[in-house]
Structures are given as C-alpha cells and as structure tokens.
Amino acid sequence: MKKTRRLSLALWCLAGIYLSVICAGFVAPYSFEVQDRLHPFVPPAKIHFFDSSGKFHLRPFVYAVRSSDENPMEYQEDHATRYPIAFFTRGDEYQLLGVFHSQRHLLGVNGPVRIYLLGSDGFGRDQLSRLLYGGRISLLAGLLAAIFSVTLGLLLGSIAGFYGGRLDDLIMRVADLFIVVPWFYLLVAIRAVLPLQMEPAATFLLVIVVIGVVGWGRPGRLVRGVVLSARERNYVLAARGFGASGNYLLRRHILPSTWGVVLTQMAVLIPQFILAEVVLSFLGLGIGEPVPSWGNMLAYAQQYHVLVSYWWMLLPGLAPIPVFFAYHVLADSLHARLQSVS
Amino acid sequence: MTRYLIRRLGHALLLLWGVATLLFILLQAAPGEFFTEMKLNPQISAETIAGLRTQYGLDQPLPVRYIRWMGSVAKGEFGYSFAYNIPVATLLWPRIRNTLMLTVPALIISWFLAVPLGVLAASRKGKWPDRVFSAGTSTLLALPDLLIALLFLLLALRSGIFPVGGMSSTAQEEGWWKSALDTIWHMALPVAALVVGSLPILLRHVRASMVEVLNSSYMRAAQGHGLFRNSLLYRYALRAAANPLISLFGLSLAGLLSVSLLVEVVMSWPGLGPLLIEAILSRDLFVVIAAVVFSTIFLVVGNLLADVLLYTFDPRIRMQ
Amino acid sequence: MEPLIQISDLTVDYIAEGGDVIHALRNVELQINGRETVGLLGESGSGKSSLGLALLRLLPGNAHVTSGKIEYRQQDLLRVDQKELRKIRGADISLVFQEPALALNPVLQVGLQIVDVLRAHCKMDKSQAASETNAILRQVGFAEPERIARAYPHQLSGGQRQRVAIAQALVCRPGLLIADEPLSSLDTVTQAEILELLRQLKQELNLAMLFITHNAGLLASFADRIAVMRHGQILTCGILEELRRTPDSYVQEIISPAKIIPPAMTATHSNGKPLLQIRNLSKRFQQHQILTRKKFTIQAIEGIDLTLHAGTTVALVGRSGSGKSTLARCCAGFEVPDSGEIFLEGGPIQKLSRQTRQQVQMLFQDASTSLNPRFTAEQLISEPLEIMAWGTKLERRERVVKSLQEVGLDPQTSDRLSGEFSGGQRQRLALARALVVEPKLLILDEALSGLDIPLQATMVRLLLELQLQRNLAYLYISHDLSFVSLFAQSILVMHEGRIVERIGPGNNFQGSSHPATQALLLASRSLHAPGLPLSQ
C-alpha cells in the first residue's frame, strides 16, 4: 500500500542520515576545524566530466580555485591540473565512534588541493564536513533530549495517573507550569540558569538535559490521561478481582497502553528538539566554536553580506528538512495506528 | 459565567506566580551574576562593586530579596534592570507592544487563512484540492522556522522593497498616517515569517477537526433529512467543530509566541525576544524573569479568551 | 394497488481497507405498500441496517451497489440525481436511527433542528416554522413543546431525544418512515412508550413503515408483514402466523427466541444451605456538584436482603438507577458496603482468603471494555491462572482449550486478538475467563443486554447447560422482566435502592402490587416480549 511504502522510505531515509552523521569522520572529506585562510567563502565546487579541451573523462574531477587578482572575493578555476575525485582517500585523522583511529575518508581528492563540495565558510573550513559533524550534534541532541523528555514524562505521568489524589494534583500542577510558558522562552530561560561558558562535551550534555526538562510537560499529561482511563477499565477491574497486584496491573495492562502515546510523542518531539538545539546554538547559548552545530553554523548567515552573497551558508538551515519530513511521516502513521487500535 | 471566569482567572494567576517564583529561585541559584563581568575588570574597584550590590540588594539573603522583588511587582515595577538602571516595567512596555504588533496580526491572518482552507480540504477529502493541501502543508511543516526567518531576511536584502530590520525609518516629525504606514511596511516581513511558520500545523488541525465532524453520525442524519449542502456544512459542521477549533486557539498562540522570539532576533525587531536574549547573556536577572512571565501572560490571556469563546459557543460547557 | 416501494435484486458490497469484500446485501427483493408496516427482522450482520440506509442512499463511502433497483413513484432511487434525492429525503421518505443522541447535533437547540428540516423542504417563514415545530412536538407527546424546543440534546433523556428524532423525521409528513432499531438504546418502560407512540402516529399520519429490529416480540402486534433476513438475504416474508408454521429452524428461533431455552433446564435445584446470603445491606455515595460546591448523598442501596442457593438463578430487575449494579459490585467485592453483611458459604465476605474470593466472578455489560484489546484469546483466559500462579504453562494451556470448548468457541482461534471477535463471541470469552477459576457464583451485570435477542437466548441456553454441569449459582441483573422470567427461579424487583417485590418460582405475577413491577409488567406486555403468558 502506498502508505506503508512511504513509511518504510521515511525510515530508510532516517537510518541513512543518522548513519552518515554518526560516521561523520569517515563520510566527511575533512575535519571540521582545519582552516584555510586563503580560501574563505569558496562557492561549491563544480564537478566536471569534460575538461577544457572538450575531452570526456569517466571519472568526475575538479579544478583548483584561486582568487582572482582584481577581486579577492571572486574565485576562478585553474584549468591547468585536473584533480579526479577519489574514494577512500587519505586525509585528516579522526576517531570513529571514539574508538578507531583512521585516516581514510569516503571521498576526497588526492593532492594538495581541497575540494569544497558544498563550499567553504569564512575561515576556509569545508562546509560539507561541518554539515556532517554539525548534524551529528544537532540530530543526536534532538534524539537524546526527546528520549529524556518522554521518559521523564512517562515516569511522572504514570505515577500521577496511577496513584491519583494529592500526588496527581502536585505533579500535574508542576507539568502545567512547564506547559503554560511559550516554549522557546522557557528554553532560553532555563538555559540561562546554568553556566554559560563550558567545554563542548559538557555543553552538549547540558543542552540535552535542558531541552528534555523543558519539554516533559505535554508527554507527561498525555501519559497521565492514558493511565487514568486505563486504570478504570473493566479489564483492570476484572484482573483486580483475580487478585492482581498493583505491579502486575501496571506491567501487564496499564503501561502497554501507553506505548502508542509514547511513540507518537517521540516522533513529534524529536524534530522539535532538533530545532531547539539549533536555536540555542544559533543564539550562542548552545554548542560553541570550534565544534560545529547546524545552529552555530547558521549564525554566520545572520550577517547581511554573508546572507546575500554566499547562499551555501544557508545549507545548515536546509539540512533538517528531509529529517523533519521523515519524522512527520513517522508521526502520522503512528498516530493513524493509534486511532485504529482504540 | 462570571464565577467560571473568576475561577479560571484565579487559576491563571496562581500559575503565573508559580512560574515567576520558580524562575526566581532557579536564577538566583545560577552561578555568575550581573556583576561577575565587572569583577574581572581591574579598573573598577571592589568597593564600587560592593556599593552597587548593596544598592541593588544583592547582598541580602534569598527570602529578603524575594519579598523585596514581590513588593516591586506589586508596585508595577517588576524589579530593576542592572544593565539599564531603570525599572524593568519601563523597559518592558514598549517591547511588549512591539511583540504584540507582530503576534496579533499573525494570529488573525493565520486563522483567516487556515479555517476556510481547512474546511475546503476536509469537505473535498481525497480529491485533488485535498491532495494539494496535504502536500503543501507537509512541505511547509518541514521547514525550520529559523530558515524561514532567514529566507525572509534574504528577501528583504535582495529585493530592496522591504526594509531590513528595525521598526521605523522615518523621523519623528512625520504625520501619524505616514508613521503608521512606515511601521506596517516594517512589520510586513516579520509577520509574514510568523504566518508561514505557524500556518501548516494550524491548517492540519483545522482539516482534521472538520473531517471528524463531517464523519459523525449527526451529519449523516442531517443529510438523511434532506438539508441543503451549504446549510449542512456551515450551520451544522462548523458549529459543531467550533469546540475543537477554539481549543486549538491556545495551542496556536503558544506556537506563535515561541516563534516570535526567533523572528524578532533574526529580523531585528525590537520586541521581547531580543531583550530576553540580551538579558540572559548579561545576567540581568529581573529582566529575564519579567520577560518570560509576560510572554506567559499573553498565552494565559489567550487561553482565557478561548475559554470564554468556548463557553459562549458550546452549550455543553455552559451547562456544567 | 401499486406498491409504494419495490426493491428488486439489490446487491451491495462493502470494500474494507485491506481489500476484503463483504457482501452486505444479496439479491434482495422486497415490497412495501402504502400505509403498511413491514418488519425487517434479523441479527447483527444480517444486512438489515444496510437495507434501510440503501433506500435513501445513505450508505458509507466504501459501499458499492453492484446491482438492483429501488422503485419509488416511477423513479429508481439508486439512480436519481442529487437534487431530487435531497427533496425526497426527509419529506417523502424519512429515517429514524438507533441512537438518538448521535443523530442530533449537540450544539444546536432541538427546535432549530426541526425547523431546519421544515425549511429545507417547504417555503415557510420563521413564525410558521416555529408553530409547526410546536405542533409536531406536541404530537409526539411533549406537554410543553416550547420549553423542549429551546433545549439542547444533552439536556433531554434518552426517551425524549428519540421523540425529538421522530418529530424531526415526521414533520414534513413523509409517506414512508424507516425506523432502524429505534428502541434498542432505551430501557424497557421507555421502549413500550415509544412503540405506542409510533403505533399512534402510524394511524394519525397514514404512514408506511419499515421497522428494523432483532426483537421479534416488538413486531408481533405492530407489523403487518415480517421479512426475516440472514447473511444479506431475505429468507422469507409474510404474516406472523405463516412464519410460525415454516419448517426453517432459524426462522422459528428468531420469531420465538423463547423456544431456544428449553423449560426443562430451568427447574429448581436448591439444596439446603444457601451459597450467598445478604442481610440488610446499604451503601451511600457522596457526590460534589462542581460549581456550587454542595455535597449531596445518593442512597444507592438500602436494607437489601437476599439469598441464593447453588444451582439456581436469581434475577435482579429494575430500571436504570435502581441500584442493581451497586448491589452486584458489593457482592463481587468491588465496593465496600456501609452497613449490613454479605456471607459466602457461611463466612463473611471480607474475612475470606483470596482463594475463596475467586469463587465469585462477575461478567460486565460491555465485553469489549472488560477484555484488554491487546490480549489474545489465550492470554485473556489464562490471565487469572497466571495471576494466581496456578500450574505450569502446559497445564494452563490445557485449561484454556477446555474453557474455550465449554463456551462453544474454536480452540484454534486462541491466538487471535480479542478485538477480532464479534460481540457475542467476546462475551463468550469473558465467560470462559470467569469459568477458568472454577467459581461457584457468577454475577451477570446486564452482561447480555447489548446482544440481539436471539443471541441472548442462545447465551442463556449455554449458561443453563453450564449451570447443570457445574452446579453454578447465577445472580442475573437485567432491566427486562419478561426475558428473565424465562429461566430465573426467583425475580427480585428493585426500585430506588430497595427490593420492592419478590416473585418466586411458579408465580405468575397475579399478586404483584408494587407500581414499579406493574410498570415493568405493562411494558413487557405491550412489547409482547417472549416469556410472559399473553393472557395476563
């Protein structure tokens, strides 16, 4: 059916994207911090199959770029040497998954020249590589924050719904506090509570915790609703009649009925939280230099001259689009399945 | 009705107080304060700093500071800004006005577009207007709000038609009509960015609510009685959909307020957003709390409004 | 004389999402004459509702008419254009649905909804429409039509809502009224009232009617002809006497469901000591009114005395709110009574061990809510055994298979999700689950009320068989006095929390004095429900 095909396409897409960013070291041609001050704001490389004399080459190649003498901001190709694109080239060293050291990259160019497939930024750093490394930060932060948030919501919501009474009132009042504030405002405010200058690893963890804490309110309320109604169902009553303990009821009847809500919330929140990390980094409250995140990369695009002249600097803003699309398809199909079961 | 409103109002005030207090406690516990920067500056003596701290009451214990702040709130000042050295309220009012100038028109425009389009898509479910609708909203929905704001900024820069940033370009002496037009000209792109950002999700929800109503059994019964198609759609379906749609109002306002922070920062609109960011970076404590609380007030007022509308339109709520 | 409606060779298929095709109607032939009432009798899934909807082309989107004609006034209703169809709907042919609450728009006043129908078909100004509305409301039995017209649906009771729906359907004086199970959602006394109303209106307005139901008793003195449907086909059609003489056993059973329950099974088997004894039981509930903050108490049950012996059935009958459910829940241990005592086999129920408490099991009204939709049939039935940590996995499985066979379900289906079973099958699953712990007392809290009458009878037959085999005692709660009189040894009538009448075995209701009982009796009589001797 068309719907399931869309869903599996979306899931494959997500898997591919996440895999690429996790193995950013390998997939990216260069490291994210190596600068080349001689080549700032180089436009994306033109890939050729035909050389200047009109000869066809099977392997695509690029030319080196040099800034022209009249206008240092313009670049011209130097047709003297061809640099074919190669696979598994040697390049900057990196650590794969924090364990393996390697110098092999998926693709690149052999020679002293750097290939800027998606252009370079103001410091001459390769945008493609930075996009991949940045994606790792933004996508993982979003994912982990969503897991944290939904888990917190599941925990507190279940307790509130199952035990009811005063505890329920208290937890829901606190949840309301988190729901009632417009959420970007709450996000930056809670971020403000914590130290502003920290090293990147700590900041990453911090950002995840902050986003997760800010967002637990709605999943918490939803889970509580499901637990509350499940608790009153006749089949729970019947099980109680057979002598079932509270733990049994939670485990066998009540918590399974929350899976639908939990999964749907995850699919809805992950894109939202990816955006949250991007926004925080954009505003200077998240990951900072030199570690790239889509947010702090986009911050450069705020400068007018960059925005107008160098369109490839907006790519970090376009990068989330396929990810969001895939998550929305996922969320829709989960939602539809939830409706049909109830 | 008044009793209902009063109860909701009381509940809202309690919530606001909770948010403010929570933030107060959390921010006080945060490391670093406004004067930390100053302390690093060798040119400013320790005595000056100590004097400033006493002046702002920063040397008092937490409960005392809290009570003093509450007093300031009661007076309408909402504390003092360290950076600007004026009562926070004075700083805030123009910003609040500016943020409202963006969000209220954006809200109205979004709803005016979403309801007819959503109703159209729902009534022609499965046929081509609906398919176009779904494809369009899915695409727009996947665009990050940050990108939308930046693209509009790009549009301003490239086209030269719209001003870039700020609220006004004219001098103060111009007539009010010219100033008003000028302001609208400045508002156009930020409002457009807000609308584009919040429209897709609203469209989807409107369509979903309408589809649910149109599938309900009382619509089939009404059709069975031979009512005219238009009458069915507007009198019956829309009336019945009023409840879920009004409940949506609060959600859409929340989303809009959130995104406005971003749009204001990117497009240099002097609203609450940029002020909040500035205050966070400089640790201007009371400004931070007041900005967050005021943004919450908008949301709360919006929700109250929705409650009142719901009360008016849904007889079932009235009877409770 | 030409028939009003002539249905020829009508075949309708439903296409489900997965692509499965369900044949809802197969080559249906039916004729309805002017001023005639035709009863359409069948169980759920027989296609009777689809036939009613097809007449007005109100079938859902996934239904396809693959053949047939519906002739009305020289037109084929299946092929007429939308404009004509709109004119016919509501003005020439009208429909009354099963659940009036669902058929009325919850946010509009009911008067307006009637006015809308009027103005859709006749040119009228506001005041004319208003007076017509009041007139029809008066005709359906409202003494204060103006007050009712201003009310919203949720402010009216079930019976009142159905009257409004009927008013809506008849306000433009159609020639044919299609009533699709119009009484099913109402309690017995209200059912009788509405049936009487329809009988009256039939006469006053010269209506032809297609009355769709699963309850043959309603049609006995109401329909001129009866058509029996099964699996989308009309098995037979004719007057009641003819049908009583057909050889077809299915038709026999659906015409007289009482025949399903052989009287031999209902003989008393009491032996000495009572299984359940209740003395002076009372329970109050506190309720808060949300806005005024007043607390008021509802006396749910008061001063109840009850005795139940093994192998017998005691029925508790009463209208909604009479306290029957509360009493049941107290017996099952779900509620703690405020005063009085409950003894199970001589011991007070609170002091009993968990094991002994298992001997009382309860079956709820709606099987779909008492079974977890995510569980398979096997998981459902073995759950009580799992909770009590009884036996090994293999032993449990054997018990499950035995249980399924006992209730008439195929053990091969044990790995299907409970949601995939039909309503009647789900109730059997619930029964199997209750029986697997070998209880002595089974409380059925309106457990069969939602099922079709023939299915109710079949289930009762099964229950009686099991009662014989296992010497079970049943506490059967219902609102249908006549139905329980088919098999209960004693009937207790409840009214406003008290037991107002006890009808013992062999009693034929002659001495009944309490008005509540009288009301129930009267209702049953006019509904000509099976069970009660018609001479009473």
Q: Is B2 on the interface with C (CB under 8 A)?
A: no
Per-residue pLDDT tens over the stretch A199-227:
778 888 888 998 999 899 999 999 999 99
- CATH fold, domain A132-341, is MetI-like fold (1.10.3720)
> Å from C370 to nearest chain A CA?
4
- Tell me how far apart the alpha carbons of residues A10 and A329 are, in angstroms, rounded to a whole number: 7
Please tell me the predicted confidence (pLDDT) of residue B49: 74
For residue B137, report the phi and psi dihedrals to the nearest 5 degrees.
-65, -35
**Type of residue at C314:** V
**Is the model's pLDDT at A293 over the cut of 80?**
yes
Neighbouring residues of B43: CB distance < 8 A, sequence distance ≥ 6: none
Question: What letter would DSSP give residue B43?
Answer: T
- Tell me how far apart the alpha carbons of residues A259 and A278 are, in angstroms, rounded to a whole number: 28
Tokens of B22: 């929570």
Residues of chain B neighbouring C94 (CB-CB closer than 8 A): 224-225
Say whether B218 and C107 touch across the interface (CB within 8 A): no
Determine contact, residues A339/A16, Cβ cutoff 8 Å. no
**Is the model's pLDDT at A93 over the cut of 80?**
no
Going from the C-alpha of C326 to that of each of B125, C300, C302, C517, the distances in angstroms are 47, 7, 11, 20
Strand partners, C233: C230
Going from the C-alpha of C65 to that of each of C11, C77, C80, the distances in angstroms are 6, 12, 14
Tokens of A270: 């992950």
Q: Is C86 on the interface with B (CB under 8 A)?
A: yes
Say whether B240 and C106 touch across the interface (CB within 8 A): yes
Give all strands of the β-sheet with C441-445 in edge-to-edge order: C360-363, C441-445, C473-478, C313-317, C490-495, C498-503
**Is the model's pLDDT at C292 over the cut of 70?**
no
Residues of chain C neighbouring A336 (CB-CB closer than 8 A): none
Domain assignment present for C186: no
Burial class (CB in 10 A: 0-12, 13-18, 19+), C273: exposed
H-assigned helices in chain B:
2-29, 34-40, 46-55, 62-75, 88-123, 128-142, 145-159, 176-214, 217-224, 229-231, 239-266, 272-282, 285-313, 315-319
Please tell me the predicted confidence (pLDDT) of residue C534: 36
Say whether B236 and C105 touch across the interface (CB within 8 A): yes
Please tell me the predicted confidence (pLDDT) of residue C266: 58
Picking from C58, C88, C107 by the largest number of B CB atoms within 10 A of its own CB, the best residue to mutate is C107
For residue A101, report the phi and psi dihedrals to the nearest 5 degrees.
-95, 140
Nearest to C90 among B225, B239, B313 (CB): B225
Per-residue pLDDT tens over the stretch A12-40:
999 999 998 888 888 888 888 888 887 88
Average pLDDT, chain A: 85
Q: Give the orientation angle of helix B239-266 with respect to helix B176-214, to 10 degrees.
A: 140
- Tell me how far apart the alpha carbons of residues A88 and A55 are, in angstroms, rounded to a whole number: 26
Picking from C20, C334, C383 by the largest number of A CB atoms within 10 A of its own CB, the best residue to mutate is C383
Q: Is C108 on the interface with B (CB under 8 A)?
A: yes
Work out the average pLDDT over C208-225.
90
Nearest CA in chain B to C105: B218
- Tell me how far apart the alpha carbons of residues C45 and C48 are, in angstroms, rounded to a whole number: 8
Going from the C-alpha of B300 to that of each of A173, B253, B296, the distances in angstroms are 15, 10, 6
Determine contact, residues A226/A161, Cβ cutoff 8 Å. yes
Question: What letter would DSSP give residue B42?
Answer: T
Neighbouring residues of B292: CB distance < 8 A, sequence distance ≥ 6: A181, A185, A186, A189, B19, B23, B276
pTM above 0.80, yes or no: yes
Residues of chain C neighbouring A238 (CB-CB closer than 8 A): 362, 364, 370, 433
Determine contact, residues A230/A207, Cβ cutoff 8 Å. no
Tokens of B33: 């304060």
Picking from A237, A242, A333 by the largest number of C CB atoms within 10 A of its own CB, the best residue to mutate is A242
Other C-beta atoms lying within 10 Å of the C-beta of residue A201: 10
**Is the model's pLDDT at A72 over the cut of 90?**
no
- We report the CATH number of the domain holding residue B239 as 1.10.3720.10
Say whether A181 and B141 touch across the interface (CB within 8 A): no
Query: Can you give the residue range of the structural domain that contains B249?
Result: 101-270
- Tell me how far apart the alpha carbons of residues B133 and B131 are, in angstroms, rounded to a whole number: 5
Nearest CA in chain C to A238: C370
**Type of residue at A181:** V
Tokens of B144: 């990050």
Picking from B5, B6, B216, B225 by the largest number of C CB atoms within 10 A of its own CB, the best residue to mutate is B225
Neighbouring residues of A339: CB distance < 8 A, sequence distance ≥ 6: none
For residue A128, report the phi and psi dihedrals to the nearest 5 degrees.
-60, -45
Residues of chain A neighbouring B145 (CB-CB closer than 8 A): 275
Work out the average pLDDT over A69-83.
73
H helix or E strand, kind and range, residue C429: helix C423-435
Please tell me the predicted confidence (pLDDT) of residue A148: 95
Nearest to C362 among A241, A244, A252 (CB): A241
Per-residue pLDDT tens over the stretch C321-380:
788 888 888 888 888 888 888 888 877 877 777 777 788 888 988 888 888 888 888 899
Per-residue pLDDT tens over the stretch C22-71:
899 999 999 999 899 999 999 888 889 999 999 999 988 888 899 999 99
Handedness of CA C110, C112, C118, C124 (dihedral sign): positive
- Tell me how far apart the alpha carbons of residues A225 and A234 are, in angstroms, rounded to a whole number: 17
Say whether C103 and B217 touch across the interface (CB within 8 A): yes
> Å from A235 to nearest chain C CA?
4
Average pLDDT, chain C: 85
Nearest CA in chain C to B126: C61
Proportion of chain A above pLDDT 90, given as a percent? 27
Closest C-alpha among B248, B257, B309, B307 to residue B11: B307
**Is the model's pLDDT at C536 over the cut of 50?**
no
Please tell me the predicted confidence (pLDDT) of residue B261: 92
> Å from B277 to nearest chain A CA?
8
The subunits that touch chain C, with at least 3 C-beta pairs less than 8 Å apart, are A, B
Please tell me the predicted confidence (pLDDT) of residue A229: 87
Pairing of strands C339-344, C347-348: antiparallel
Per-residue pLDDT tens over the stretch A111-122:
777 878 888 888
Q: Is C293 on the interface with A (CB under 8 A)?
A: no
What is the band of C442 on the pLDDT scale with cuts at 50, 70, 90? very high
- Tell me how far apart the alpha carbons of residues C509 and B67 are, in angstroms, rounded to a whole number: 78
Q: Is C13 on the interface with A (CB under 8 A)?
A: no
Q: Report ipTM (2 d.p.).
A: 0.86
- Tell me how far apart the alpha carbons of residues B221 and C165 are, in angstroms, rounded to a whole number: 10
- Tell me how far apart the alpha carbons of residues C49 and C343 are, in angstroms, rounded to a whole number: 47
Nearest to A192 among B18, B147, B280 (CB): B280
Domain residue extents for chain A: 45-115, 132-341
> Domain tally for chain B?
1
Q: CA triplet C66, C72, C75: central angle to 5 degrees?
A: 70
Nearest CA in chain C to A256: C374
Residues of chain B neighbouring C88 (CB-CB closer than 8 A): 226
Query: Can you give the residue range of the structural domain that contains C136?
Result: 93-173
Closest C-alpha among B272, B288, B278 to residue B79: B288
Per-residue pLDDT tens over the stretch A232-253:
888 888 888 788 888 888 888 9
pLDDT tens per residue across all 320 residues of chain B: 778 788 888 888 888 888 888 888 887 776 666 666 666 767 777 777 777 777 666 767 777 878 888 888 777 777 878 788 888 888 888 999 999 999 999 999 999 999 888 888 888 887 888 888 888 898 899 999 999 999 998 888 888 777 776 776 655 566 777 778 888 888 889 999 999 999 998 998 899 888 888 888 888 888 888 888 777 777 788 888 888 888 888 888 988 998 999 999 998 889 999 999 998 888 888 888 889 989 999 888 888 888 888 888 888 777 65
The residue with tokens 């779904």 is B134
- Tell me how far apart the alpha carbons of residues B309 and B303 are, in angstroms, rounded to a whole number: 10
Picking from B258, B262, B277 by the largest number of A CB atoms within 10 A of its own CB, the best residue to mutate is B258
- Tell me how far apart the alpha carbons of residues B93 and A262 are, in angstroms, rounded to a whole number: 41
Nearest to C387 among A235, A239, A256 (CB): A239
Q: Is B247 on the interface with C (CB under 8 A)?
A: no
Find the farthest-apart pair of alpha carbons in chain C and give their distance in angstroms, rounded.
77
Buried b (16+ CB within 10 A) or exposed e, B281-291: ebbbbbbbbbb
> Å from A245 to nearest chain C CA?
8
Tokens of C120: 């859709």
Going from the C-alpha of B41 to that of each of B34, B36, B49, the distances in angstroms are 13, 9, 11
Tally of helices (H runs) and strands (E runs) in chain C: 20, 20
What is the band of C290 on the pLDDT scale with cuts at 50, 70, 90? low
Please tell me the predicted confidence (pLDDT) of residue C509: 62
Say whether A285 and B280 touch across the interface (CB within 8 A): yes
> Å from C184 to nearest chain B CA?
17
Please tell me the predicted confidence (pLDDT) of residue C528: 65
> Å from B193 to nearest chain C CA?
36
Neighbouring residues of C379: CB distance < 8 A, sequence distance ≥ 6: none
Nearest to B158 among A193, A308, A322 (CB): A308
> Å from C411 to nearest chain A CA?
22
